[in-house]
Structure formats: C-alpha cells, structure tokens
Structure 1
Amino acid sequence: MLALGDFNELEVARAVDFGLYLTSDDGDLLIPGKYVPEGTQIGDWLRVFVYRDSEDRLIATTLEPLARVNQFAALSVRDVSSVGAFLEWGLEKDLFLPYSNQWHNLRAGQRVTVYVYLDETTDRIVATAKWDRYLSEEPFAGQVGDAVQLFVASESDMGYSVIVNGTHQGLLYYNEVFRPLRLGDTPTGYVRQIRPDGKLDISLQKLGYDEALDAADLLLETLRKSGGTLPLSDKSEPDDIYRRLGMSKKVFKKALGSLYKRGLVQLLPEQTRLVGEE
C-alpha cells in the first residue's frame, strides 16, 4: 500500500510533458518535472514523498518535508485563515492545522510544536498542536541517570516541556538550563526523576559524580586551548561562567575543585591557571 505522508520507493512508469508517472498499488501518480532527478529513465525506482496537492490529488516529490506522518515537529505559521493555520513544512502545499487542533489562536510567523497525522475521515495529512495526546501511556522504560534524546516542545513559567525519546513527556526546569533553547531543539538530556504520574524531570547535565568529571574535562580542555589561563574563578559571576563554558557556577566550582585536588590548576583571585603554565 502507498504510504501517504511518508517516503515510498516507486517505479517510473511513463513520461509526459510535465513530469513522470510513477506506478503504485493505488494507481499511477505524478511527480512534476521540476522534482525529477536528472537522468531518470523509465523503469527506474525513485524515493519520493507522497502527499495531496491543492486539488486533493496524490502527488510525489523528491523534496524533504520537515515532518512526516506520525512525527513531532516545530514549524512556523505561514498564514492564518477562518478555518485554521497553515504551516511551512518544506513542501509547496502548506500543512493544515485546524482551529480544533489548537490550544490557542496563532499568528503568522509564530513557531508551534505539532504532531503530524493522517485524518482517517478525510484521508488528508493534518497537524495538531495537542501533541501530548500522542505520547505513550506506558511506564517509562528507563531509569534515573539515563541519557535520553529530547525534543523541546513548549515553554512555561517553570521551564521547558520536552518530548523524551519520542515517547514520553518531561520537564526541563529553568535552573537546569544554561544555554539558549528554542522549540524544536534536540539536545541530549538525563533523567533526574521519574514522577508517580509518569512524567519525567530532566537535566541537561549528567548527574552527580559523572557531571563533575565531564565538567572538569571540559574546563581542562578550555584552559589548554586558552594558553593555560582563564579569567574565571570561584568568585566569578554565573553569567560569565556560562558564557565561556556553558555550565552553571555550581558545576564550575565542582570542576575547579576536582582539578585543584589533582594538582592541575592554580587558583588566583580573578583567574584560573594551569600548573606549570606562565
């Protein structure tokens, strides 16, 4: 069966003036000439994305959309009409986000996290901003301390809601974030706590001793690249530490202490210096 809203490997059946027709179990469908790879011949197989054009006809393209069916994505609103919003997703026809699938009204240029799905009634590809309804209800299979892949989905007064490993919802508190984040970013995170309601508390730093070791390695590497001296000490402002190292002052002090105990650094009032460096 043809996978609508996804990539398909289809055979070139015949050529017309305006493109090629590809054969599938659901009938032949067009790939317009501007998307046909140079040198394509009858009988070749093409990897194409299949969706519906503005006239609701099945059509193929070699363009890469920003999201496929059953995926999460952070997309920009191109336009808003009386029936909903239209999102830029890398194809000629924008992705439709009905008003019924929105938490609040959107405006052109705004970025929004959505889940892309195939509407069973209309057989059309649509988006919903109520993405949390498509997360797993099963208990999270991992454990505290695990490294996980995050998708930054929304921002609240407490921090960032993140999708963890594509299946579960987590919260990244502001005091765990020491670099700018935007919707759609996919940093690596670490499970700090698994709550009774199944949601996860997430950190961008490794927990405990591993966190200090990683920070110490980064600090040592930065010192070496800087000629052996950094204008940072345990008295430095948190913003200065973050700007240079991307870590919190708390983690920086742990790293500094680790290197000092190993005899690798000299602590000065306003700087840190590698031992043996002038």
Structure 2
Amino acid sequence: MIELGNYNTLKVLRGTSIGLFLGDGEGTEVLLPNKYVPEDFQIDMDMKVFCYLDNNERPIATTLEPYLIRNGYGFLKVVQVGSYGAFLDWGLEKHLLVPFREQATRMEEGKSYVVHCYLDQETYRLTGSSRLKRFLNNEGFDLPVNTEVDLLVGRKTPLGWEVIINDQYKGLVFENDVYKPITVGNRLKGYIKTVRSDLKVDVSLQPIGAKMLEPTANGILEKLREHNGFLGLHDKSDPEEIKRTLHLSKKAFKKAIGTLYKERKISIKEDGIYLLEST
C-alpha cells in the first residue's frame, strides 16, 4: 500500500519517457518524474520516495524532502493567500493548502505558522491546519520524567511556551524555566519534568537532577575556554547575569561549578571562576 503524505520504499518497475513507475508489490503504481530519477537506478531496485498528490490531484512520487509529513507538525511560510485559504511552502512543488476553516487566526502572506498536516477523509487531500488543539492528545502519555524529547515551540502564553512533544503530545515550558532566547517555530531538545494527574505535561529545556550535571558542567568548561579560562561569575552573582552569560539558572550553575571544583577542573575566587591549566 502506498501511503500519501509519507515516505514509501517502493520497487522500480519500469522506465518510460516521462519517468519511472514504482510499485508497492500489491499492484499499486506511482510515477517518479524524470527530474527526480537518479542516474544509477536499476529495475527491481528499492527506492525511498515521498508520495503526495500533484497539481492535477494525481498520486506522484518525489525524492524531495518535505518539511513535515502526514500527521506531523512544522513551521511553514505562507507564499500565497487564495480564495480557498493559504498556501504554504512545505518543500515540495505543490504547496500545502490550509483552508480558511483550518486557520486558528487568519493567515497572512509572508508570515510563518506552526501547522499540522493530515489527510482529509472527505477530499482525500493532504491538508494543513493551525487549529492544533484538536490533533494533540495526551491520552496514553507514558514517557518517564527526564526522558529526552524533541520539541516544536507552538505559541507563547502567560505561563510560558506551549510545545509539541515528539510530534504527538502537548506540553508547557514555564517562563521561569527558560534561560535562553526561544521563539515560535524553534525545534529544541527538552526533558519531561512533570506529568500531572490531568495529563498536563511540564517540560524542561535542561536535564533534571543528576543528569543535568554533566552537560551543564561541560557547557561551563567550553565557555571558560572561549573566554581565556575566566568567567566573572560566582555563587553570589546575580541570577540574571548567569542567565545571560550561560543560559542557566543560578541553582544549576552552582551545582555545576561545585562538581567542577571537586573534580579540580576549576578554581573559585572572589572575582569569578578560573579554568585550571591541566584541564
């Protein structure tokens, strides 16, 4: 079965004047146009392609890589607004349509939005939507605390930043847990912080507890090397200064330099921390 809106591994069946016909082994075929045919193809070889509908609503294959796939999320730019909705650049020749009914706020040409791609069961077309809430569901969430996850920043709220976790779940990074500049559309690594009884998920941008020490300490060492072995920070430094310089909370900073001091990688003096020569 060939799945529209996703990558498919298909077999090269035959070559024609317009391209290669690829098959799924179940009798379904799709055209890979000449412009995407690799020079070293062979009949019966397997080929990984992305399949979608072309401008004539016919299934077609491409070796181009879209910015998101079916049931996924991406941050896409509006290239045109028409009578049916907004057309977004998703890395393919045919743009992704977000109908007006699927726009959380009216989209404007030239601006970018976080959208979901799904297969419309009525039209059987790949469609975009910025009404994200109806696609995100935390039912069945079972990721343990401190699990590393992929995040897509969705929108700013009074509490912090809503994020999409692993293209599936909804989470929140509280404002006081943000120690570096972020904005809508950023893709980041995060860590599960708390899973509440109502299935709301809090996310941290830094590892939690003991797992945090190694990357945080290594980050401080790199910063010291960049600044000729000295940083004018210490345990009495202003938290905002630490945040600006290292993108860390003061608590995380103090734990990390404590670890580095015990490992004899730094010395701590009244004016700041120094990288030891042997490090």
Fold equivalence (TM over 0.5): yes
Separation (CA, whole Å) in 2 of partners of 1:126 and 1:167: 17
CA deviation profile, 1:247-272 (whole Å, cap 9, x unmatched): 13342234344545666413223x32
Question: What is the TM-score normalised by the length of structure 1?
Answer: 0.85
Q: How far apart are residue 40 of structure 1 and its match?
A: 2.4
Paired residues of 1:242 and 1:248 also in contact (CA < 8 A): yes
Q: Secondary structure at the match of 1:187?
A: strand
Unaligned runs of 5+ in 1: none
**After superposition, where does 1:82-231 map in structure 2 within 5 Å?**
82-212=83-213, 214-224=215-225, 226-231=227-232
Matched with 2:9 is 9
Cα pair distance change 1:8/1:208, threshold 3 Å: closer
Secondary structure at 2:187 match in 1: coil
Q: Equivalents in 2 of 1:106, 1:182: separation in Å?
A: 18
Q: Report runs of 4+ in structure 1 exceeding 6 Å deviation.
A: none
Aligned AA for 1:34?
Answer: K
The 1:53–1:230 alpha-carbon spacing in structure 2 relative to 1, beyond 3 Å, is same
Query: Mean Cα displacement is larger for which, 211-220 or 86-95?
Result: 211-220
Which stretch of structure 1 is more off in the superposition, 207-216 or 29-38? 207-216
Per the alignment, residue 55 of structure 2 pairs with 54
Aligned residue pair count: 276
How many angstroms does 1:199 deviate by?
A: 1.0
* 1:99-133 deviations in Å (ceiling 9; x for gaps): 11111101122222222111111111111112232
The alignment partner of 1:108 has SS state of: coil
Evaluate the alpha carbon distance shift between residue 147 and residue 20 of structure 1 in structure 2; reply closer, same or farther with a 3 A threshold.
closer
Give percent identity, aligned residues only. Answer: 40
Structure-2 separation of matches of 1:26 and 1:65? 26
User: Which 5+ residue runs of structure 2 have no aligned equivalent?
Assistant: none
* Residue 18 of structure 1: aligned partner: 18
Find the counterpart in structure 2 of residue 268 from structure 1. Answer: 270
CA distance in 2, matches of 1:267, 1:31: 66
Change (3 A) 1:168 1:181: same
Match of 2:233 in 1: 232
Going from structure 1 to structure 2, the CA distance change for 1:165 and 1:22 (only over 3 Å counts) comes to closer
Shift of 1:87: 1.1
Distance 1:239 1:252 in 2: 12
Matched residue SS, 2:5: coil
